[in-house]
Structure 1
Amino acid sequence: MAALGVAAAGLSWFSALAIGVTLLKCLLIPTYHSTDFEVHRNWLAITHTLPISQWYYEATSEWTLDYPPFFAWFEYVLSHAAKYFDQEMLNVHNLNYSSPRTLLFQRLSVIFTDALFVYAVHECCKCIDGKKTSKELTEKPKFILSVLLLWNFGLLIVDHIHFQYNGFLFGIMLLSIARLFQKRHMEGAFLFAVLLHFKHIYLYVAPAYGIYLLRSYCFTASKPDGAVRWSSFSLVRVISLGLIVVLVSALSLGPFIALNQLPQVLSRLFPFKRGLCHAYWAPNFWALYNAVDKVLSVVGLELKLLDPNQLPRASMTSGLVQQFQHAVLPSVTPLATLFCTLVAILPSVFCLWFKPQGPRGFLRCLVLCALSSFMFGWHVHEKAILLAILPMSLLSVEKAGDASIFLILTTTGHYSLFPLLFTAPELPIKILLMLLFTIYSISSLKTLFRKEKPLFNWMETFYLLGLGPLEVCCEFIFPLTSWKVKFPFLPLLLTSVYCALGIAYAWLRLYVSVVTGCLVSKTKKQ
């Protein structure tokens, strides 16, 4: 009976958190929405009114279908509910259509599908280390993790203001992670394979899944020295994992292969002509690279070392999505970004192979793969930082070092999303929501690890506090200056560069901790 009472109590606070955030999402329904709203409305129309043979060819709108087939089928299913709200939203030629009923349907569809995310968070909470003897010490990390995930600031503004369907996609990923923690490897692999065919951005973390499943599932015997022995290799398990990938891929891509449209589908999924950086610079290595190039070009012109007539006309600071040439530094190609990304990922993958350290080692590798791809990938969207922040939340409630890295990463990464919401009515909303989430994150994790050393040193504290003056300058002071007309992209440049420093620092800190842990473990064994 006591156990049932504890379970009921646990369910009650989790349900309260889930219901509370759902009500908040409902309050955000009338807020600003980006062009992604029209993107998904157009996809509803395409999949509802056109045969499958035309889905990846339709180009009436500039917002063509460029997600994998499972997402297209997801839009197809939604469209059959959408017709009961407003049939006109399903007209392919009704470009930029946004009636009140269309707005209500699309907002509610995001909220409704978030039920999968809520369930995944509940499953992830079961994976928190429960070795503590005190019930309070066991439940507290679970409560904090639930808040960090369910009330995640970035997910709230990206999905429920800016508008996207990341919630249920992250739900699939978190559920996959939870299944791997629970030793249900086949189920975890299946969920991830399905996820890849919903949104291909999750290819970023595929190396972590592949290596972990091969190393920890296909080598069945547990050896005290951690060495890989082919005598423990299970060919049956490898074939089982391969069948999962093949069958899911066949179900997704099979119809388009039959129609001889696979090249067309792939060309939509990987459009390399969009340029190195997205219109809103992701705060990564290339933002720093672009900024250095811009500074060198300005200095070169002032010192008359550069000929203004020979500089490329297109500027990296124009804020447009297109290909650019750098003025001073070598221009970057998609192949160069792929090489940099692979080099950045390899050390974490090697550590996962030679020192798996269980599901938590896999999770650290997953975060490093996501961050490395974010730092060096081609045309990275700033929203991709959530791919690292959300899984890092699971690590933050178990170790003080991971909590410190998480707080730097999440605070900086979330602030970098501010330019997505540029209209005046959303200014107080985004500032208030981020302040509440950040204050709770820092205070709760500090309390959780109060017996450990401080989570921040003076340098980290100074950097995070610097986000306040940066926001004041970008939102309140800059619009009053004459620079607003001459340098309209300056606030975005400053935001990207400043946040890139913090994210790069968090990435390096996490890398050092993972590699050091791997080396120390090997030294002890020797």
Structure 2
Amino acid sequence: MNPSLFECAVAATAFKLLLFPAYKSTDFEVHRNWLAITHSLPVEEWYYEKTSEWTLDYPPFFAAFEWTLSQVARLFDPEMLKVENLGYDSIQAVYFQRLSVIFTELLLVYALHKYIRTTSPFPRGHLLNKFRYIQTSPETTKRSSYAAALSILFSPGLLIIDHIHFQYNGFLYGILLLSLVLARDPKNHPTQLLFSGISFAALLCFKHIYLYLAPAYFVYLLRAYCLGESIVDIKWSNLIKLGGSVLAVFGVAFGPFVYWGQGRQLLARLFPFSRGLCHAYWAPNVWALYSVLDRVLIIVAPKFNLPINATALHSTTRGLVGDTTFAVLPPIHPRTTFLLTLAFQLLSLLPLFTSPSPTNFLSAVTLSAYASFLFGWHVHEKAILLILLPFSLLALKDRRYLTAFRPLAVAGHVSLFPLLFTEQEWAGKVVYTALWLLVFLTTFDRLAPAASGRRAWLLDRFSGAYIALGVVVVGYASGVHGWIWGGRWEFVPMMVVSAYCAVGVLGSWVGFSYLYFVA
């Protein structure tokens, strides 16, 4: 008998409790500092405080979230709430912050519960059918929705980023998943679309990275909730309710700061374009491949008399965080990344506009995440979850989708390995990720229905070869390079991992785009 989602959540929590002494990144200090800022200072000073280099740079709802946590944190250790206590990490502080991630992640568990319930068919007369939100889906079975939910619950990405490296993505993705679930049945429950839009607006006020998904939400809610069968058939009542609700959410979040004349300061904190193009080599996107190509061209440039920008030889294309300059290739500007991202996002919105189905909506959300990750400015490696989580809900649609999902699952998780660079965590991250890939990709392969059309033969071969190559890449980056070269070429392993993962994400995007636009 399969364990329930609740039993799995308890088991996952027990495992996460064992990780309390594990490595923690500077993000631990970031959030401790934000606890101190929001607890110790008046609201109007939150976005000006700069005692620490880790200044508050999330939207106001997340700042309020930190303030709420700080009311409990003072019961654990009041010293952690002093702004001047930089780098403070007492046992009490560590336990509180680790526990706060686990506790707030319960929202994700609830969202997964809702996801399973709204996709699982129940017998006629079943008690759960009496609730309005319960709907059966012909595309999904109880077993497949359960498997997809467990793959997210036990995600190595969330484990590495939240429970070791340290962040609150489980809580935030819980809001996103709830919003996606609410948007799944627009014909029978149109009011849920309104709540979907409201919850997504609230999510944007928690973390603005979700702006990447906003175009898909805008088009879907406009077509499915605000317009009738024709684009000239405007449902004014729905338009006013949705527009007013979204404006109200943003008004509550940003209104006070605009009233205090802090709008410009807040925007400067939220959108620091002074940062470079690449967030080191760890984000596996187009610009990582561009950076690798630049380093290769430096070697061959003398043979072909190519000009070299000498000041760029020690830039962030070597794997460090900072401004990015290129030695041989032309520079990339923020406007270029914005236009590329917008262009590919707009392409994905065309089928959604003409056919605003829940499946097309989830596909457009996934493709919007792909475009922003692959072509965006200063993309963090952790943003791969923006693609992985919504795609997880589509991976079992049929075997072609699963084939496109496989390289993403491998690349997305392997790309997070450099976040945990200490020896103590090496075995844990590799073994846990390998087990997750083995269990869930095997399970998905067994559950995914046969494709309704011609199988993507080339993508299937690419997927198999790519997974096999991953073993070689991880082995080389983890030890073989050091054994061969010692301390020389210290950034090559990171370059190899980044390039390998970028190829996987790019190949997955191509395959998914083919299925969305052509198949």
1:308 deviates by: 6.0
Contact kept in structure 1, 2:277 and 2:378, CA below 8 Å? yes
Cα deviation 1:273-293 (Å, max 9, x = unaligned): 110011343100001111111
Deviation at 1:139, TM superposition (A): 2.5
The SS at the match of 2:318 is: coil
Aligned with 2:146 (options 143, 150, 156):
143
Structure 1 residues 95-494: aligned runs within 5 Å = 95-128=86-119, 130=121, 138-183=141-186, 184-221=192-229, 228-230=230-232, 232-301=233-302, 303=303, 305-306=305-306, 310-356=310-356, 358-449=357-448, 457-482=460-485, 484-494=486-496
Change (3 A) 1:138 1:343: closer
Q: Are the equivalent residues in 1 in contact too, given 2:397–2:449 (CA < 8 A)?
A: no
AA aligned to 1:355 is: S
Tell me the residue number matched to 1:36. Answer: 27
Supply the distance in 2 between the matched residues of 1:307 and 1:457 (Cα, whole angstroms): 41
Which residue type is aligned with residue 42 of structure 1? N
Cα offset, 1:409, TM superposition: 1.0
103-112 vs 391-400, which deviates more? 391-400
**Shift of residue 311 of structure 1?**
4.7
Q: CA deviation at 1:417?
A: 0.6
| CA distance in 1: counterparts of 2:376 and 2:310, whole angstroms | 28
| TM-score of the superposed pair, with normalisation by structure 2 | 0.92
For 1:312 and 1:27, the matched residues in 2 are separated by 44
Aligned length: 497
Moved more, 496-505 or 236-245: 236-245
1:60 positional shift: 0.7
Query: 1:345-377: per-residue Cα shift (whole Å, max 9, x none)?
Result: 111011111222x11110000000001000000
Deviations 1:85-120 (A, max 9, x none): 111111111111111111000000000001100000
Q: Identify if the C-alpha distance between structure 1 residues 247 and 134 changes in structure 2 by more than 3 Å, giving closer, same or farther.
A: closer
- Which runs of 5 or more structure 2 residues have no equivalent in the other structure? 124-135, 187-191
Separation in 2 of the partners of 1:489 and 1:320? 9
TM-aligned CA deviation for residue 163 of structure 1 = 0.4
Q: How many angstroms apart in 2 are the aligned matches of 1:353 and 1:423?
A: 47
Alignment of 1:497 onto 2:480: no
Q: Is the 8 A contact 2:309 2:326 kept in 1?
A: no
Q: Given residue 203 of structure 1, which amino acid in structure 2 is its aligned partner?
A: L
Task: Give the conservation status (yes or no) of the 8 Å contact 1:107–1:160.
Answer: yes
Cα deviation, 1:438-483, whole Å, max 9, x if unaligned, reads 001211011113756799733321111101011111111112233x
Whether contact under 8 Å (2:108, 2:173) holds in the other structure is yes
- 1:516–1:354: structure 2 CA closer, same or farther, 3 Å change rule? same
Could you tell me how far 1:294 is from its partner in structure 2? 1.4
Which residue pairs with 1:507 in the alignment? 509
Whole-Å Cα distance in 2 between the matches of residues 309 and 385 of structure 1?
A: 32
Q: Corresponding residue for 1:6? A: none
Sort the Cα spacing of 1:360 and 1:131 in 2 relative to 1 into closer, same or farther, 3 A. farther
CA distance in 1, matches of 2:137, 2:268: 55
Q: 1:293-352 CA distances to partner (integer Å, 9 max, x unpaired)?
A: 111121113x27246674535423333222122111110111111011011111101111
Separation in 1 of the partners of 2:312 and 2:434? 41
What amino acid sits opposite 1:509 in the alignment?
Answer: G
Distance 2:137 2:32 in 1: 50
In the alignment, residue 292 of structure 2 is paired with which amino acid? A
**1:71 correspondence with 2:62:** yes
Relative distance call for 1:55 and 1:346 in structure 2 (3 A) is: same
- CA gap of 1:372–1:435, structure 2 versus 1, over 3 A, is same
d(CA) in 1 for partners of 2:255, 2:30 = 25
Q: Distance in 2 between matches of 1:250 and 1:92?
A: 28
Number of the residue aligned with 1:25: 16
C-alpha distance after superposition, 1:393-415 (max 9, x if no partner): 11112322222222221111111
Please report how far the alpha carbon of residue 206 of structure 1 lies from its aligned counterpart in structure 2 after TM superposition.
0.3
Cα offset, 1:134, TM superposition: 13
State how far apart, in whole Å, the 2-side matches of 1:129 and 1:92 are.
Answer: 49
Check conservation: 2:219, 2:349, Cα contact below 8 A. Answer: yes
Q: Using the alignment, how far apart are the partners of 2:311 and 2:390 within structure 1?
A: 43
> Could you tell me whether the CA contact under 8 Å between 1:129 and 1:398 is conserved in 2?
no
Write the distance in 1 (CA, Å) between the matches of 2:198 and 2:281: 34
**Alignment check: 8 A CA contact 1:141 1:398 kept:** no
CA distance in 2, matches of 1:217, 1:309: 53
- Contact kept, 8 Å, 2:407 with 2:466, in 1: the verdict is no
CA change 1:515–1:501 in 2 (3 A) is: same
AA of the residue aligned to 2:436 = F
**Cα distance in 1 for residues equivalent to 2:319 and 2:88:** 25
**Where does residue 4 of structure 1 map in the other structure?**
none
Report the TM-score when normalising by structure 1.
0.90
Cα distance in 1 for residues equivalent to 2:90 and 2:116: 39
Q: Give the % identical residues.
A: 44
Q: Structure 2: how far apart are the matches of 1:431 and 1:239?
A: 50
Tell me, yes or no, if the aligned pair for 1:179 and 1:188 is still in contact at 8 Å.
yes
**Structure 1: gaps of 5 or more residues:** 1-8, 222-227, 518-526
Taking only aligned residues, the RMSD between alpha carbons, in angstroms, comes to: 2.2
Provide the rounded CA distance (Å) in 2 between the counterparts of 1:280 and 1:97: 29
Query: What amino acid is aligned across from residue 342 of structure 1 in structure 2?
Result: L
The CA distance in 1 between the partners of 2:391 and 2:95, in whole Å, is 32
Q: Give the CA deviation at 1:220.
A: 2.9
SS in 2 for 1:378: coil
**Amino acid across the alignment from 1:335:** R
- Residue 131 of structure 1 and its aligned partner are, at CA, apart by 9.6
Q: Supply the distance in 1 between the matched residues of 2:450 and 2:241 (Cα, whole angstroms).
A: 46
Residue 244 of structure 1, CA deviation: 1.4
Taking a change above 3 Å as real, the CA distance of residues 457 and 397 of structure 1, as seen in their structure-2 partners, is closer
